[in-house]
Structure 1
Amino acid sequence: MRSNRVLSPRTAALPAAFAALLALLTTACSGGAALGSEVAPQVTPPPAHAGFDYQLGGAYSPPDGVDVVVRDHTASPASGLYNICYVNAFQAQPDAEKEWDSDLLLRDDTGEVVMDEDWGEAMLDISTEAKRQRVAEKVNGWIDTCASKGFDAVEPDNYDSYTRAPQGLLGADDAKAFLALLAAHAHDEGLAIGQKNTTELATEREKVGLDFAVVEECGKYEECDVFTDAFGDGVLVIEYDAQGLQRACEGWGDDVSVVRRDVDLVPAGEAGHLRQTCDDV
């Protein structure tokens, strides 16, 4: 039977208070953040058209005018600069195959490990979701190291590895799906993430979750516009010969970062070191 009891003013206010709380929770959730969840760290891409140095062969004091430096994940970042952390994400380092589970090395129809012959690197098998997750777990560990050291961004190399694999073993969709895993993790760690080369997939940058591009020899091959079309001025260019440097500087040097380095990326002060910029053209 329905009660005729009259509520006190304090008791009558409870449903209204509950409704207000419910509305607050609904608003928070509709904004994309569940109650108690952490807000993703702010991600900052490299400054555009900045002085740039590529130091994968060994870290050294950046020259005057350099604001952006790329170093290997085993090195430390340069103090006071924007630092990008290099990881070999799609292939094993030379002679490092034993650091990977055997079934994560890409194999051909005869069971032989597929090698990138130019660099002596075994390709990693990212052909299934399960294997992509396992490879990503290891690479994400390196990304965690980059973040803990104070790097600002990460450069996963060999995105285009699938183009060098025997036909049918790997495809573009495999590469994109794997790099998307790394991009999500990097962003969770507060790191921007760059696309390395791979003109074929530049237009997919937003779907994959990429923030900038690191490009080798796009001046030499006259394809820098593929990356500027996709990434705007968020492009870092490395050339390895005089002609490439000149083309990159004349075509795109007013908008993006360009540097010429020796092929072996020898540290400053050692024989064979070379570094030039558009000021030297």
Structure 2
Amino acid sequence: MRERVRVRAVLTSAAMVVVAVVGLTGCAAGSASGEPSRAASSYANLPTSGIPDYQLGGGYTPPAGVTIVERDSTDRPAAGKYSICYVNGFQTQPGDADTWLDDHPSAVLRDDDGKPVSDPGWPDEMLLDTSSAAARSTITSVLTKTIATCADRGFDAVEFDNLDSWTRSHGALTRAGNLALARALVDVGHEHGLAVGQKNTPQLGASGRKSTGFDFVVAEECVQYQECASYTKAYGRHVIDIEYSDTTERSWASVCADDDRPAMTILRDRDLVTPSHADYVFEHC
């Protein structure tokens, strides 16, 4: 996560919405050469156009024309839409903190005093420890159950949030450790027939795709922060971008007219509220 305001709704037992990307299907086994497994058929069919909706603040009937919907792993996919399942892959969900501490204490990053390290922007989320193979194995085992649930419920793809957790770990975590966990999670997603998306982290450039096997990317505010090229150079048109109405400094028409923006770009309100709320915003190019 960059040092900036970022949206991620607090996910509860109530269903949240995941970005569904039209047309991600298939799976692939890991290659004998040791390269990251690739969902070859699903990658070939990834959508390069369509209208996404990002509903993590609460699920609702997608607006007319929407073809891609993202919802939380606790929710069900939107009927008739290409569906992406949201999983917090590198930090704990607020409601899951006690479970991690009680059942998987070695997988939670600790400071020198043995206290869990929290995301400064989301203090109710603890960073998972990607620094050792043993901890990464535990995290992968726990999240495999969530990934399997996404597949069983009919999602087409999964994206793992907080890939950039090493940047707020005060040096305790490394990029290499996070990418090693990402590679393991991508393999599990592909084994369950899901395409797998990178979340944010433009500083990876093309290495995110090359070293992990990610199939697409879900970016937040890449137009606002002039980061879109970092994603499109690696993933071409397989990029979904969500801009937020409280920080967009241009007219929406000018954003849509920008040749550098991803084809699948939408505008949402910061809290991702449902249409019944006065602050609801949804626009698309």
- Uncovered stretches (5+) of structure 1, i.e. residues with no partner: 1-31, 34-39
Is the alpha carbon distance of 1:98 and 1:267 closer, same or farther for their aligned partners in structure 2, counting shifts above 3 Å?
Answer: same
> 1:180 deviation in Å?
0.4
Aligned pairs (5 A) from 1:169-208: 169-204=172-207, 205-208=209-212
Q: Kindly state the Cα deviation for residue 71 of structure 1 after the two structures are TM-superposed.
A: 0.5
Following TM superposition, by how much is the alpha carbon of 1:48 offset from its aligned partner in structure 2, in angstroms?
Answer: 1.1
Q: Which moved more, 1:198-207 or 1:139-148?
A: 198-207
Q: What is the aligned partner in structure 1 of residue 90 from structure 2?
A: 90
Change (3 A) 1:42 1:49: closer
CA distance in 1, matches of 2:115, 2:256: 43
TM alignment of 1:117-266, pairs within 5 A: 117-120=120-123, 121-167=125-171, 169-204=172-207, 205-241=209-245, 242-243=248-249, 248-252=255-259, 255-266=262-273
Structure with the bigger percentage of helix: 1
TM-score (norm 2): 0.79
- Counterpart mapping for 1:8-23 below 5 A: none
Find the residue that maps to 1:43 and give its secondary structure: helix
Larger radius of gyration: 1
Q: Which amino acid aligns with 1:105?
A: V
Change (3 A) 1:95 1:144: closer
Higher relative contact order (CA 8 A, sep 6+): 2
User: 1: CA distance between counterparts of 2:230 and 2:255?
Assistant: 13
**2:282 pairs with one of 263, 268, 275:** 275
Matched to 1:256, the amino acid is A
Q: How many residues align?
A: 240
Aligned-pair distance for 1:252? 4.4
Distance apart, 1:270 and its partner CA: 2.4
How large is the RMSD of aligned CA atoms in angstroms? 2.0
Identity among equivalent positions (%) equals 42
- Taking the aligned partners of 2:238 and 2:217, their CA distance within structure 1 comes to 6
